[in-house]
Structure 1
């Protein structure tokens, strides 16, 4: 029997609403915060790379213990607390700017604090969804939430670029601060029963961290997915370190035009979220994981070829196809991860995966900043996109290469 539509699922729709509000604001600040550094504080390539590193360093600092804590606490409470913390941190940026006290060290602190809260939010969020909607609707739930993220990505950069151009970057950050508080209100209204994990089963922080690491490391599919995603995210960090400088100082674009370009990537993500169900049925739930990267990653070679005039469209095409591939890949592999992992291990599995795959982002940001200082923004983009092509290799060396569909959860263990 076909399960009822999630659009009639009250608690999912509250999560959907929270995600919608939060994602729209996040897309604005993802554009505005680096532009605060570049335009308001005249940051260099290396200083911008440090900001990217600070945003994601928390996954290396607390990623693993956060998974244990998420498995020990009610996940909705973690989500609400993380939203409130992120809203307060972002609000400090325009306040400091109005007081003529804004500095790069403050941006680094805000970015690091945002990252710490995001670690807990993301791990709790991915661990909360299976209990909220049921594992038989994970693909549908993840696809709908990816549509939200991608749709916000279409509107957010355009709105953010316009706000930066009209109101300045620090004021644009305020929109995201408000959005996180709105997200917290939606989450607060969820009334799903959530049991507090039994403390009797706790075995010590280090031992439970080790269980999560072993679960991923000994799982023949999860470990290859982690290697592939880590490679892709490392190169994403490199690109993020120099792309604003490339677009503003090399291509010569205004903030509004940059926002439109980033909307192209989000439009690709929206396209990917809309077709992921159909594509996975046509090519297979296992095959789509590696085929999504193999078919779309080469288009990123267009990004460093872009320049003033009509060549700006090369950046848009490359980012659009990248957005399609990322969403096809993420919806498929995240749904598999959630479906294959026992309930009591979800926090630690997600934390281990996040530690590995997001932990490479700050390293990539630092590498991109250093390479940008040495060779310039365009050369760094070339190095980044060529390395990104290697992300598919672990998947092609895994059992996924010979499978059409993913096995049932009880068929995969090592």
Structure 2
């Protein structure tokens, strides 16, 4: 018995067969078989990523006895490939006609790399150097995956459904974040942090399988061989909306990753939370993210996609003020941390969904991976810098003062957007997606 051929979706098409009662309850895009498989793979992979988000720092703290500076190095290693390789990866991806195959290979590579951590732990050979190497290598494969994912999303989703598509992807990420940290915290307590990472390794297999079952019509490979490296950056710098958006998101990423690099260490050593409670706190942020994804479409229709982007850039960092403010009894500390994570999760979804939809609308297909790579190299490139600065500053002035500095800095990010066209953008702009940018 042979497997059926992968589905080739027709964006915007409607199913011809009668819908079952269960299918009628799904959003329109999830009724499309190809998008549903793509979404399912991303959701499962996201669940594994969230387990790793708590398990790997706990491996570093509990098994490798990392200090504040070393936690900063570990977070930086994960995001450093964005700074080093994203621009070139975008150029390379635009020259590929089968980007989906690259994504599958990246999933399988990350599966193998993550699996080496529990293996090394089982043989008493796990070191911080090993964790740094795995973080750097998986980060590099994530860059390749994501620069290829941007045009794949546009191949699956028609332009008039970008907000819906991004809301579903972000909503699935939020659902993963609801369950992932809590599951990760429990798995760490039951199995140990290294063994909990096997769940993330298996999630990459699920993502690879889901991608193997779709075959969207991808944009053709770029045949031009000269001057490609600068084209993505040139388009980004020449667009007032993208230029202001990059400044805002790079600022908020720099400062919030100062917080992210130190949060596990701060929560476990200063606030004395055990892994199970820590996972529950991080899960609260995901509940906020899920709610943010569910209401993002309504908010963009109410106030406009640009103002939603600005609102998200404020609501994302503002609740984080409660993290350095947390002190007192355990219930009080947990209440403040739950509120911080919930509110921040709400805001980051508005920021992500509105921003991704704007970029999907204004960037032409022939430049998509290059623009995404250039944007990512700066935007995500600030993350390792923020992690390193956070670790170094905490070693000098302490964890809590560093968290205050980081959150106040993150709150300034929206100022970049106020004089830009983003403030006046009510509807997504329309353009010929296949027309090269001037």
- The reply to whether residue 290 of structure 1 matches residue 310 of structure 2 is yes
User: Is the 2:311–2:350 contact (alpha carbons within 8 Å) kept by the matching residues of 1?
Assistant: no
Higher mean Cα deviation, 129-138 or 337-346?
A: 129-138
Give the aligned partner of residue 6 of structure 2. Answer: none
Secondary structure of the equivalent of 1:221?
helix
Tell me: CA distance 1:406–1:191, structure 2 relative to 1, closer, same or farther (3 Å): closer
- The reply to whether residue 390 of structure 1 matches residue 422 of structure 2 is no
Task: Write the distance in 1 (CA, Å) between the matches of 2:48 and 2:425.
Answer: 39
- 1:193 Cα deviation (Å)? 3.3
Give the aligned partner of residue 48 of structure 1. Answer: 71
Secondary structure of the equivalent of 1:304?
helix
CA deviations 1:108-165 (Å, max 9, x no partner) are 0000001000001111112211111222221111110111100000000000000011
Give the aligned partner of residue 219 of structure 1. Answer: 239
- The reply to whether residue 21 of structure 1 matches residue 44 of structure 2 is yes
- 1:341 Cα deviation (Å)? 1.0
- 1:203 Cα deviation (Å)? 2.4
Give the aligned partner of residue 362 of structure 1. Answer: 384
- State which of 299, 307, 319 in structure 2 corresponds to 1:299: 319
Task: Write the distance in 2 (CA, Å) between the matches of 1:216 and 1:12.
Answer: 28
Tell me: CA distance 1:45–1:398, structure 2 relative to 1, closer, same or farther (3 Å): same
- State which of 35, 43, 46 in structure 1 corresponds to 2:58: 35
TM-score, length-normalised on structure 2? 0.90
Task: Write the distance in 1 (CA, Å) between the matches of 2:261 and 2:174.
Answer: 22
Give the aligned partner of residue 129 of structure 2. Answer: 105
CA deviations 1:320-355 (Å, max 9, x no partner) are 111111111111111110111111100011111111
Tell me: CA distance 1:409–1:391, structure 2 relative to 1, closer, same or farther (3 Å): farther
Structure 1 residue ranges, 4+ long, deviating more than 4 angstroms after superposition: none
CA deviations 1:269-306 (Å, max 9, x no partner) are 10110000001111111211112223453222111111
- State which of 179, 197, 207 in structure 2 corresponds to 1:155: 179
- The reply to whether residue 180 of structure 1 matches residue 200 of structure 2 is no
User: Is the 1:232–1:388 contact (alpha carbons within 8 Å) kept by the matching residues of 2?
Assistant: yes
Higher helix share: 1
Task: Write the distance in 2 (CA, Å) between the matches of 1:215 and 1:27.
Answer: 33
Task: Write the distance in 2 (CA, Å) between the matches of 1:234 and 1:294.
Answer: 15
- The aligned length equals 409
Secondary structure of the equivalent of 2:347?
helix
Task: Write the distance in 2 (CA, Å) between the matches of 1:354 and 1:403.
Answer: 23
Tell me: CA distance 1:195–1:298, structure 2 relative to 1, closer, same or farther (3 Å): closer
- The reply to whether residue 351 of structure 1 matches residue 366 of structure 2 is no
User: Is the 1:85–1:117 contact (alpha carbons within 8 Å) kept by the matching residues of 2?
Assistant: yes
Residues 225-304 of structure 1 mapped to structure 2, 5 A cutoff: 225-304=245-324
Give the alignment's Cα RMSD to 1 decimal. 1.7
Give the aligned partner of residue 153 of structure 2. Answer: 129
User: Is the 1:163–1:169 contact (alpha carbons within 8 Å) kept by the matching residues of 2?
Assistant: yes
Tell me: CA distance 1:359–1:195, structure 2 relative to 1, closer, same or farther (3 Å): closer
- 1:195 Cα deviation (Å)? 5.9
User: Is the 2:55–2:185 contact (alpha carbons within 8 Å) kept by the matching residues of 1?
Assistant: yes
Tell me: CA distance 1:404–1:186, structure 2 relative to 1, closer, same or farther (3 Å): closer
Structure 2: unaligned runs, 5 residues or longer: 1-11, 15-27
- The reply to whether residue 197 of structure 1 matches residue 217 of structure 2 is no
- 1:232 Cα deviation (Å)? 0.8
Secondary structure of the equivalent of 1:149?
helix
User: Is the 1:293–1:326 contact (alpha carbons within 8 Å) kept by the matching residues of 2?
Assistant: yes
User: Is the 2:90–2:372 contact (alpha carbons within 8 Å) kept by the matching residues of 1?
Assistant: yes
Give the aligned partner of residue 75 of structure 1. Answer: 99
Residues 372-411 of structure 1 mapped to structure 2, 5 A cutoff: 372-409=394-431
Structure 1: unaligned runs, 5 residues or longer: none
User: Is the 1:287–1:405 contact (alpha carbons within 8 Å) kept by the matching residues of 2?
Assistant: no
- 1:403 Cα deviation (Å)? 4.1
CA deviations 1:359-382 (Å, max 9, x no partner) are 000000000100111112111111
